[in-house]
Structure formats: structure tokens, C-alpha cells
């Protein structure tokens, strides 16, 4: 290796890209470093479902050859990344955490995988997730550990993405979010998570959970990195009829413009009522930082989500049942207990119930649209609790009493399709990550990233790494 860094794996994408483009390190050397780190740490972290070692090294070698010949694909050229194992990868397994997909090897790449490759990124592997991106895990698949505390929950379905990003096992990862699964692992693992506007990022070649709710987005270690990945994967796609036609703004060009005069709404009473006191304190401290950066912090009333969360659940479960209609109940015994439970519920939802829930979605969307006419951003927790101790028997088993209150600050924005950004905002007394969430109007990922970047220039929470993982 032509240059030595003790924490090479924790560089930002921009820092790693500068090393590659200056010739101080090659894409092959950087990729080998990450692969070695995966071999060393991932037997305990369990973030990867598949490590594509040979393919990654071959791609890195091609990236080096391209740079040597004068072909530069941009800031992601030669950067090792990983994707949640529901993104199709040609000639490589895509199992989605499901035994029913155990032998699934696609013959084409998901659009997001293609776009990452076109931007020069090196795909090093596929990341573990809950079964079918739902809540529980299938016994045939590992449960990722939280790098901050190995006995703690690493988040919901994109848990492998959060764990790998936090542990320095990739420079960026892709996750999906249907009820909170970019934001939960971002919060639990102390990383940045960008959930774009619904339709901004193509879902072609993605195993669906609930098609009208599924979002694809990046988990990274800083906001600029999230913006770089977003710029690479977003945009219209002829293969996905739900993809938005709007051009993708050059966010990284304006990310340092600051937030002077930006109106940010917060409902402190709501947060104090529903969030753990340490989580609430972290969010309130974040509001103070944003105010010092020139934002106008405005007290607002968040909409009451008590009706919207059950409606979101009905839509999610019914669409999940549709997504699995060819294998459930025909292959019922091949599903885990959690997934069977949710698929049974989904099949019991009537057409009338589904229509009623979608009518409530329109009301929910309008209520938040009206609120976001009075302010530019909303500020709240990414998740109302600290990462709990996880119990394998619960995550593998059929738990009837799932607390939908966990989705209070997340599911509604899958329901509305609004873009969100989760940011590390502190540590609990036990040393666990705290996280705040910003919510913007549709297609305003640019303002989200400006706010996130400004916040990171005034704080160092995003630069902290798990003490158990060196």
C-alpha cells in the first residue's frame, strides 16, 4: 500500500477519493483494505450476506486502469460500497433474507447497482436484512450486531447496512425504507441516513416489501457522502414507471450554502411526551445548534399520527401479501414465524380496508404539506428510543405485540413520501448513539443536505466511531 492510515476505513468518500485521484492509493489497495477488514470483523458483526471478493478486486483493477488511461468517472471512482441484499445483482445471489429466495441469482442488476457502477463505485458485497425487509429475521440468516454494543439492536430491515457503515466495512451502503428502515439503523448505529422522496430513486430490480411505500437511499458517515450517493443513484428510470421525471439537483455544489433564515419547525411537547428523555435532549440540543447556524426554530404542532400509523400498517401489510402471493401460502413453511404472521394479517385486509387506508394517506399527506408551507423543515427524533438489547428468540420468533409507536416519527413519511435525513446528535449515558431527523418538502433533498452539512460543521458527532471496533 502506497500510503498508511490507521483509520483508512473511516475516511469520508471525499477524503478517500482525493487519495485515489492523487495517486496516493489505488482503488485496488483501498478495496483490499476493506475486504481484509470485513474478513477480520464481520464474523462478529454479521453485516454481510455475501462478500463479492473476486468481483470487487476485478472491478477495482478496472477502475485503476481507467484512471491511468485518463477516464475519470467522478468522486465515486474506486470507492468500495455495499448494498442491501434485496438489490438485484447479476450472477450473484439476491436472497432478501428469505429462504424462499435461497437459490435466487438474478440475470440483471438493479438500476441503483448499475448507476453505482457507472459512477465508478466498487460493489464489495450484499448486506444482511430482516426477512423480506419486514421486521423479524429468518432462522437461516444472521442477525447483524450493533458495532456500538454487540448486544444491541442494529435497527430494522437495513440493519446490515447500518452496521457495515458504522464499522467501516464500506464507505457507503444502500438501504430501503418502508416504515423506518433507513432511519432506524442510522439512528441505532450512529450514521447518516438519507431517505429520498418516493420515486426519486428507481426501485427496478429491488425485491419489494410494499411498492407504494418502499424508498431506496444511502447510509453514510457524513451528509456530503450521502449527497454523492444520492446524485449517483437518483433520477428517472424507464424501467420504473413510478420514478419521478424531475432532474436531480447538483446538491454537492451548493451543500455548503448554509441555513441562514431557514425555518425549522419542532413540537417539543410531542417529543417530550413520546421520546426517551435522552433522545429528546439530543434533538433539543440539535435545535440549539441549528439556531446558532442562523435557522429560525419555530414551535409547531405535529399532526396526530394515531390514525395514520394503523392506516400505513394496513397498506403495508396488504401490499406485502401481494408481493408474496406466488410463494405464500404455497410455501408457508419456508417462511419464518415473523413473516408468516404479517402475511396472514396482510391477506386478511379487505379491499375496503385498503381503500380506506389510502384515503387516510391523502389526508395525512395534505396535513404535512400544509405544515411544510409554514416552515421549511421539520425536526424530530429518528426513533423515539435508544437501541434496545436484542434477543434472538424475539427477532426470530412470532411476536404479536409489536410496538407501532416505534414508527411514530418514521412511517408517516413513508406514507407521505417525504424526504428525510437522519443525523447523529449525541451519545447516551451508556455511550449509545442518539439521532435527530429532518423532514423536507417533496424533492427538496438539497435543503436537507445543506442543513445536515451545516450541522456537521458545527458538531463532531458524525466523526465518532464505535469504541468496540477499531
Element (H, E) at 365: helix 351-374
Q: Are 293 and 379 in contact (CB under 8 A)?
A: no
Distance CA 250, CA 248 (A): 7
* DSSP notation for 95-149: -TT-GGGTT---SS--HHHHHHHHTT-EEEEEE--SGGGSSS--TTSPPPPBTTB
Residue 49 in contact with residue 141, Cβ under 8 Å? yes
Phi-psi region of 23 (alpha: psi -120 to 50; beta: other; left: phi over 0): left
Per the residue annotation, which of 157, 382, 422, 435 is the catalytic one? 157
Residues with Cβ < 8 Å from 27, sequence gap 6 or more?
20, 60, 61, 63, 64, 67, 77, 78, 79, 122
At residue 412, the 3 state secondary structure works out as helix
Residues composing the chain: 470
Distance CA 324, CA 328 (A): 6
Among 46, 84, 95, 195, the one annotated catalytic: 84
Please, are residues 422 and 196 in contact by the beta-carbon 8 Å criterion?
Answer: no
Nine-digit cell string for 376:
421549511
* Cα Dmax for the chain: 64
End-to-end CA distance of the chain: 19
CA of residue 110 relative to chain centroid, distance: 17
181 catalytic residue (yes or no) = yes
Angle at 48 between CA 161 and CA 158, to 5 degrees: 25
Residue among 181, 313, 382, 422 flagged as catalytic: 181
User: How far is the C-alpha of 31 from the C-alpha of 166, rounded, in Å?
Assistant: 17
CA distance 139 to 159: 16
> Are the beta carbons of 152 and 387 closer than 8 angstroms?
yes
365-401: b (≥16 Cβ within 10 Å) or e:
bebbeebbeebbbbbbbbbbbbbeebeeeebbeebee
Question: Hey, what's the cell of 465?
Answer: 466511531
Cell of 323: 408481493
Catalytic residue positions, numbered = 84, 157, 181
Amino acid at each position: 500500500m502506497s500510503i498508511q492510515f490507521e483509520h483508512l476505513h473511516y475516511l469520508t468518500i471525499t477524503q478517500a477519493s482525493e487519495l485515489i485521484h492523487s495517486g496516493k492509493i489505488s482503488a485496488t489497495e483501498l478495496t483490499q483494505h476493506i475486504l481484509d477488514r470485513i474478513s477480520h470483523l464481520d464474523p462478529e458483526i454479521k453485516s454481510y450476506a455475501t462478500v463479492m471478493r473476486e468481483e470487487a478486486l476485478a472491478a477495482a483493477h478496472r477502475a485503476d486502469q481507467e484512471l491511468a488511461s485518463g477516464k475519470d468517472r467522478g468522486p465515486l471512482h474506486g470507492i468500495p460500497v455495499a448494498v442491501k441484499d434485496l438489490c438485484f445483482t447479476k450472477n450473484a445471489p439476491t436472497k432478501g433474507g428469505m429462504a424462499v429466495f435461497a437459490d435466487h441469482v438474478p440475470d440483471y442488476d438493479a438500476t441503483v447497482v448499475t448507476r453505482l457502477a457507472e459512477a465508478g463505485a466498487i460493489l464489495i458485497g450484499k448486506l444482511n436484512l430482516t426477512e423480506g425487509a419486514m421486521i423479524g429475521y429468518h432462522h437461516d440468516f444472521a442477525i447483524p450486531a450493533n458495532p456500538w454494543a454487540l448486544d444491541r439492536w442494529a435497527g430494522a430491515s437495513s440493519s446490515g447496512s447500518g452496521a457495515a457503515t458504522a464499522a467501516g466495512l464500506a464507505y457507503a451502503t444502500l438501504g430501503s425504507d418502508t416504515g423506518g428502515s433507513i432511519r432506524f439503523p442510522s439512528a441505532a448505529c450512529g450514521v447518516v441516513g438519507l431517505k429520498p422522496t418516493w420515486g426519486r430513486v428507481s426501485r427496478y430490480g429491488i425485491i419489494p416489501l410494499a411498492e407504494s411505500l418502499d424508498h431506496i437511499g444511502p447510509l453514510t458517515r457524513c451528509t456530503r457522502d450521502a449527497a454523492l450517493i444520492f446524485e449517483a443513484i437518483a433520477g428517472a428510470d424507464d424501467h420504473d414507471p413510478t420514478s419521478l421525471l424531475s432532474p436531480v439537483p447538483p446538491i454537492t455544489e451548493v451543500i455548503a450554502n448554509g441555513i441562514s433564515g431557514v425555518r425549522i419547525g419542532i413540537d417539543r411537547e410531542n417529543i417530550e411526551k413520546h421520546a426517551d428523555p435522552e433522545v429528546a435532549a439530543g434533538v433539543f440540543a440539535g435545535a440549539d445548534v441549528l439556531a446558532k447556524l442562523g435557522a429560525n426554530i419555530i414551535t409547531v404542532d405535529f399532526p396526530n399520527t394515531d390514525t395514520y400509523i394503523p392506516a400505513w400498517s394496513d397498506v403495508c401489510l396488504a401490499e406485502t401479501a401481494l408481493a408474496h402471493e406466488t410463494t405464500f401460502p404455497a410455501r408457508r413453511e419456508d417462511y419464518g414465524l415473523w413473516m408468516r404472521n404479517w402475511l396472514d394479517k396482510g391477506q386478511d385486509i379487505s379491499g375496503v380496508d385498503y381503500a380506506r387506508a389510502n384515503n387516510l394517506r391523502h389526508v395525512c399527506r395534505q396535513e404535512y404539506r400544509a405544515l411544510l408551507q409554514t416552515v421549511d423543515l421539520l425536526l424530530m427524533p429518528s426513533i423515539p428510543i435508544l437501541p434496545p438489547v436484542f434477543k434472538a428468540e424475539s427477532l426470530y420468533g412470532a411476536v404479536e405485540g409489536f410496538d407501532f409507536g416505534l414508527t411514530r416519527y418514521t412511517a408517516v413519511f413513508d406514507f407521505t413520501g417525504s424526504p428525510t435525513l437522519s443525523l447523529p446528535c449525541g451519545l447516551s449515558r451508556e455511550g449509545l448513539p442518539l439521532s435527530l431527523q429532518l423532514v423536507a418538502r417533496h424533492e427538496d433533498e438539497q435543503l436537507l443536505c445543506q442543513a445536515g452539512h451545516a450541522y456537521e460543521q458545527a458538531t463532531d458527532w458524525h466523526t465518532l466511531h464505535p469504541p468496540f471496533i477499531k
